Amino acid sequence: MSLNTLENVRIVLCQTSHPGNIGSAARAMKTMGLQHLYLVQPKFFPDPQATSLAAGATDILDKVIVTSSLPEALTGCGFAIGLSARKRTLSHEIVEPKEASRQALSIAQNQPVALVFGTEMSGLSGEELDYCQLQSIIPANPEYSSLNLAMAVQIMCYELRMHALEGKLDAAPEAALASNDDLERFYAHLEEMLVQIGYINPRAPKKLFERLRRLYSRTRLEKEEVNLLRGILTLSVNPKKHTKY
């Protein structure tokens, strides 16, 4: 049985307004066998309403990790899936919950994976989605798609559990994927180099750089590949002195 893989999945809630939703999400997670909850700048936490709605899942609240930014909550993750009902122009690959769960569990066999949820009012921002490698949309009723945050968490955790119970996980990727922190260092490095060579203007709109980010984001870079790319970046602004070519 591959239920252990659920150990490697974390749920990340960004800037939650209603602490009751945090409690309900914890309960939803525990009923499906998940336990790692990360909160990015929650408006209220800890809070008695969160504790009350968590019911028998207060152990999950006790272990919550609160962070001040999304990248911090993604530390060590090889893969992050953003849950958002909105399609954007510069779009990520978008999949249904079932397919998102399949991909998440495949990678979670080796590395931590995150499911990222936005605020109750407006969901994930474009910037937050940019930290994710994949977007998933729960195909709700277009006439009323206002799914409660904890309900969305419940559906995703349910799909993960169903998939884990099937016991037919896809083969794990052969090579380790770059972690979120590796990627962020690479993006910073890339941006610095692009500014240095005059390809982008640090004071101009960032559209161009965002496109590059998304391109690499989709690629699911391996750890080794990030090292290779960063080697190129280093050399491209500071070529080896003794080169003969």
Residues at the interface with its own copies (CB under 8 A): 24, 27-28, 30-33, 55-57, 96, 98, 138-141, 143-148, 150-151, 154-155, 158, 161-162, 165
Nearer to its own copies (CB atom), residue 159 or residue 191: 159
CB-side neighbour CA atoms (13 Å) of 134: 21
Nearer to its own copies (CB atom), residue 27 or residue 36: 27
Nearer to its own copies (CB atom), residue 165 or residue 188: 165
Nearer to its own copies (CB atom), residue 30 or residue 213: 30
The two three-digit tokens of residue 92, written as one number = 């990520």
CB of 31 to its own copies, least distance (A): 5
CB of 56 to its own copies, least distance (A): 6
CB of 165 to its own copies, least distance (A): 6
* 9: enclosing H helix or E strand: strand 9-14
Picking from 179, 194, 240, 189, the residue whose alpha carbon sits closest to that of residue 10 is 179
Q: CA torsion, points 42, 44, 49, 52, in degrees to nearest 10? A: 50
CB of 189 to its own copies, least distance (A): 42
Q: Is 29 exposed, middle or buried (0-12, 13-18, 19+ CB in 10 A)?
A: buried
